[in-house]
A and B are shown apart, each in its own frame.
Chain A
């Protein structure tokens, strides 16, 4: 029982990290139709920046906030590259973000080296129902809950958020009422970058990242996001939590090395199941 609780909580914590990544993917895809392959890179950059700033003596909180600001700026830059030039369609933009991800590899290796890095989160652990659980896990869960609540408020209550939602539901109509769709796309990228950064600074104390961890992060984030068709943040959150817990259970009770196989297999199954319910006609009409 105590082992189960431990796997459950740590799975939820990791799932929350995936959820933040998936949230960023969904935010960007809703507004710009671009699947941002560089989303995992935001988390890596965020986590490593936070680590460096902490090593320089910045206090906790300030370092993390600065790292998130940095990834927001990085997100803006990725958005400029992927959507700033006229006539870049969504497939070309996907390949552009892939390229940006590789450029980031080069920069990351130059700054931080090619080994895995980690930094201290809030230390210590608590015992719950006989299970030994890191406090950081609770921090991750709490922050993620707060971020998703804020996102809901942002999209539902603020002018900017509503403008973003307008672009998502009908770019043509949004332009007709005077919303700058391209600029909203950049806002979405910056927001996505910040969300990825939050995921990074929260996850790094739990599991060290190296420059190429982004492939696994992005595939997990994508797996969660694709559950809601890349358009529904709520479904993405649910998907991410399921994925995180499923991986933790496989790692705990089965064999740790198969956890990515399970996650990826789940993603493939969900995607093909969803695709079988949508015909080519619907897909092309939605374009």
Chain B
């Protein structure tokens, strides 16, 4: 990491730490949701950018994490245990589901993950022990070593800690030897396998890990909001994660965080506009769908690498290298541009 990048990360971290103290209560709640989305987006970004797999069902793992935390809590287990169990349960579910699913590639995997989420939503909505469509209510607040996370600001720091942890883990993975293997298999599985990369095991591991991140976010969400229901984790949420990753730039941690920030703030802004007086009742929905759609299309067509990588490339390109005099001597003179014209 260069000194400039270090300074940038330190600055962002400092701002992120100060921000919750400056915001009003309702703004902090947006901030918490932003951080949780970013946590999920980093995992998905790793899956999409490094392992080359698209998941349209990432919210199913958020859901598993949320329900794990909520179920253990309402049955009287200590909440810190629930917070530990949430990512583990999500990762375990992904590991099991991944065995058949990760044989699929590209659009097939995209549809398969979407199907898994639809199945999960359907099943959870019908079980008594999950509370059916109403869901589980009255999830207690998180309590770790006697400290109860009761205020909005405490959850902001909890979510920030989760995001930091996830970013750190991801960074260590992508800069390590397995990380290089992952990048190789995203380009060509055959080439990676013939160079000795254990393709199936790595894909499985990344899938489970990204699910674990989503599960952690889901667990915090459950304690923060206090209830979980199938309606809290719609297919739209999965798509939202994909939009964040695509807009921010798949395969970078900063991209995932930037994407999550941009989308959350934009959606919040539109929500404010849509719920103003005089707007029709459907305005918030219309606006958010339109923005998701437009952003996906425009980002894919005109900014296929995402905001952060494109911005970095632009910055690196700006100092235009001057032609060295030594080069112009031994090369034939370039044809004058006027010659080309008819």
Contact = CB atoms under 8 A, between A and B. Distances in A.
Interface stretch (B27-35, B152-160, B294-302): B294-302
B286 A275 contact: no
B293 A272 contact: no
Interface stretch (B37-45, B113-121, B225-233, B309-317): B113-121
Contacts of A276: 103
Nearest to A211: B289
Interface string A40-70: 0000000000000000000000000000000
B300 A271 contact: no
A189 interface: no
Interface stretch (B7-15, B87-95, B187-195, B207-215): B187-195
Interface in A252-287: 257-258, 260-261, 264-265, 267-268, 271-272, 275-276, 280-281, 283-284
A215 B285 contact: no
Contacts of A216: 118
Interface string B98-120: 00110111111011101110110
Interface residues of B, number: 45
Given A88-B300, A99-B297, A272-B104, A284 B292 contact: no
B122 A96 contact: no
B81 interface: no
Given A88-B301, A94-B110, A219-B114, A281 B190 contact: yes
A272 B191 CA distance: 22
Contacts of B282: 109-110, 113-114
Interface in B97-148: 100-101, 103-108, 110-112, 114-116, 118-119, 122-123, 126
B78 to A, nearest CB: 34
Instruction: Determine the main DSSP class of A at the interface with B.
Output: helix
B296 A96 contact: yes
B235 interface: yes
Interface in B46-104: 54, 56, 100-101, 103-104
A219 B115 contact: yes
Contact of B189 (A94, A100, A102, A284): A284
A99 B108 contact: no
A24 to B, nearest CB: 15
Contacts, number: 130
Contact of A264 (B101, B115, B189, B246): B115
B247 to A, nearest CB: 11
A91 B123 CA distance: 30
Contacts of B173: none
B286 A95 contact: no
Interface in B246-303: 246, 282, 285-287, 289-290, 292-297, 300-301
A104 B118 contact: no
Contacts of A271: 104, 108, 111-112
A267 B115 CA distance: 8
A258 B118 CA distance: 11
Interface string A221-236: 0100010000000000
A284 B122 contact: no
Residue among B100, B188, B297 with the most chain A CB within 10 A? B297
B199 interface: yes
A243 to B, nearest CB: 13
B193 to A, nearest CB: 7
A79 to B, nearest CB: 13
Contacts of A101: 293
B162 interface: no
Contacts of B295: 99
A268 to B, nearest CB: 6
Contact of A92 (B108, B239, B304): B304
A81 interface: yes
A104 B235 CA distance: 16
A105 interface: yes
Contacts of B246: 95
A102 B263 CA distance: 15
A168 interface: no
A90 interface: yes
A281 B199 CA distance: 13
Given A106-B293, A261-B119, A99 B286 contact: no
Contact of A103 (B56, B111, B122, B297): B297
B308 interface: no
B273 to A, nearest CB: 14
B90 to A, nearest CB: 19
Nearest to A99: B296
Contacts of B110: 35, 94
The 8 A-B residue pairs with the shortest CB-CB distance in the complex, in nearest-first order: A99-B296, A103-B293, A102-B293, A106-B290, A99-B297, A105-B289, A35-B107, A106-B289
21 contacts: A92-B304, A95-B54, A95-B296, A95-B300, A96-B296, A98-B242, A99-B293, A100-B293, A102-B290, A103-B294, A105-B285, A106-B287, A109-B286, A215-B235, A219-B111, A219-B114, A258-B126, A260-B118, A275-B103, A280-B105, A280-B189
